[in-house]
């Protein structure tokens, strides 16, 4: 039995977890900064770093206490060292280095995007053994929208990526335009009607390049122009009907989900995938989860919403499989941070 501590601080959540055997969550503690950043309508890097400094020690202590585990009982300490906000990453990595150096517990650096994929292992289904490789993986969040082919543990091929903005960032911008607050994804999901909206948005079409790429900047511009035309933007100067706001939110959400699912489906057929994994904060969207399962004729693994957003459990799960599948991984006390680290080639 292996017990691994996972530390995640790539953005605005200080998250720490203890996971057994890469699958069973023993503790999962998340110190949210939502109240700090919401008044600003987005993440403020300097504020995020400051909060991590205050939260990291008590969050680690609580995760160990909840798991009834002492540092000396751990088999490894894992930490996100990229991609993400440089200041936030540095706090998590330096704290993890101090823990590892003071206890002689091995330290493992983890790619944040790969961690989101391994959230799928924190479920009853083992994607590798119960479904098999290759797996098409979508990692969609506020900073990333990547489509990857997972051909084995630690082996990825980048199939498509956003050419401009990430899906989560697009949700945040649309929510600001509609006066719905931050974060945008949950706000839009909560107000969007369950039926198809009257307000629709055109999907981007690429004349050249990779057909599996994404683009969301045009949708952001479209909803801003539509809101201006309808006289509901700026939101603080008007009193629009809630039904109109809901209809615009629903149409925007439909456009994002259609773009994501169509490319996942296309990639699954092109590369003879055996299954699909959805990861990242956008993967918590209920319409995306339902549409993917209804549209794609393959097993679609959707981690619990709390495991789609940033958490330490996914980092620990990823570290377990790295240790299990790679010989002589050793401790990595000299790891650095990589704010722009990509996954796959």
For the segment 291-314, the average pLDDT, to the nearest whole number, is 97
Work out how many domains the chain is built from and give that number: 2
| 170 and 213 both lie in a single domain | yes
Q: How far apart are the first and last CA of the chain?
A: 33
Number of Cβ within 10 Å of residue 136's Cβ equals 29
* Residue 338 located in a structural domain: no
CATH number at residue 100: 3.30.420.40
* Residue 334 located in a structural domain: no
For the segment 296-314, the average pLDDT, to the nearest whole number, is 97
Q: Which helix (H) or strand (E) holds 184?
A: helix 184-191
pLDDT of 87 > 90? The answer is yes
d(CA 73, CA 138): 34
Q: Which helix (H) or strand (E) holds 219?
A: helix 217-229
CA 135 from centre of chain: 17
Is the Cα torsion angle 309, 312, 316, 322 positive or negative in sign? positive
Say what percent of the chain tops pLDDT 90: 84
| 266 and 320 both lie in a single domain | no
* Residue 291 located in a structural domain: yes
Distances (CA, A) of 252 to 7, 163, 202, 264, 322: 34, 19, 10, 19, 38
**Range(s) of the domain holding residue 280:** 132-302
* Residue 344 located in a structural domain: no
Say what percent of the chain tops pLDDT 70: 97
For the segment 114-123, the average pLDDT, to the nearest whole number, is 97
| 109 and 226 both lie in a single domain | no
What confidence category does residue 345 fall into, taking pLDDT thresholds of 50, 70 and 90? Answer: confident
Q: What is the pTM of this model?
A: 0.95
pLDDT of 309 > 60? The answer is yes
* Residue 105 located in a structural domain: yes
The closest of 155, 136, 98 to 298, measured between CA atoms, is 136
d(CA 79, CA 6): 6
| 225 and 168 both lie in a single domain | yes
Rounded to 5°, the CA angle 121-125-130 comes to 105
| 192 and 269 both lie in a single domain | yes
- Predicted pLDDT at 239: 65
What confidence category does residue 34 fall into, taking pLDDT thresholds of 50, 70 and 90? Answer: confident
pLDDT of 327 > 60? The answer is no
- Predicted pLDDT at 242: 85
pLDDT digits (tens, 9 = 90+) for 214-255: 999 999 999 999 999 988 888 666 666 788 999 999 999 999
| 89 and 144 both lie in a single domain | no
| 287 and 144 both lie in a single domain | yes
- Predicted pLDDT at 228: 92
| 108 and 174 both lie in a single domain | no
pLDDT digits (tens, 9 = 90+) for 186-205: 999 999 988 777 889 988 77
* Residue 336 located in a structural domain: no
For the segment 135-149, the average pLDDT, to the nearest whole number, is 97
pLDDT digits (tens, 9 = 90+) for 149-193: 999 999 999 999 999 999 999 999 999 999 999 999 999 999 998
């Amino acid at each position: 039995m292996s017990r691994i501590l996972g530390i995640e601080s790539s953005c605005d959540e200080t998250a720490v977890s203890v996971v057994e055997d890469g699958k069973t969550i023993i503790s999962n503690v998340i110190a949210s900064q939502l109240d700090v950043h919401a008044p600003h309508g987005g993440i403020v890097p300097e504020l995020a770093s400051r909060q991590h400094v205050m939260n990291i020690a008590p969050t680690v202590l609580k995760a160990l206490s909840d798991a009834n585990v002492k540092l000396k009982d751990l088999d490894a300490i894992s930490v996100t060292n990229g991609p993400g906000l440089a200041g936030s990453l540095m706090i998590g990595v330096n704290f993890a280095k101090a823990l590892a150096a003071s206890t002689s517990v091995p330290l493992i650096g983890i790619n944040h995007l790969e961690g989101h994929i391994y959230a799928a292992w924190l479920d009853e289904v083992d994607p590798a053994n119960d479904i098999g490789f290759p797996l098409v993986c979508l990692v969609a969040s506020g900073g990333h929208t990547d489509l990857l082919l997972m051909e084995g543990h630690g082996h990825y091929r980048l199939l498509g990526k956003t050419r401009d903005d990430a899906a989560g960032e697009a949700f945040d911008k649309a929510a600001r335009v509609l006066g719905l607050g931050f974060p945008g994804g949950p706000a839009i999901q909560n107000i969007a009607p369950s039926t198809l909206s009257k307000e629709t948005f055109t999907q981007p079409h690429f004349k050249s390049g990779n057909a599996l790429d994404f683009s969301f900047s045009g949708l952001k511009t479209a909803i801003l122009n539509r809101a201006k035309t309808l006289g509901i933007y700026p939101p603080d100067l008007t009193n629009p009907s809630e039904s109109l706001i809901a209809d615009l939110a629903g149409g925007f959400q439909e456009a994002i989900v259609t773009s994501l699912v169509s490319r996942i489906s296309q990639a699954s057929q092109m590369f003879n995938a055996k299954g699909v994994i959805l990861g990242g904060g956008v993967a918590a969207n209920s319409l995306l989860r339902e549409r993917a399962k209804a549209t794609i004729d393959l097993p679609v693994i959707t981690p619990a919403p709390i495991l789609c957003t940033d958490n330490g459990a996914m980092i620990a799960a990823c570290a377990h499989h790295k240790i299990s599948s790679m010989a002589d991984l050793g401790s990595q006390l000299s790891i650095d941070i990589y704010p722009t680290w990509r996954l796959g080639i």
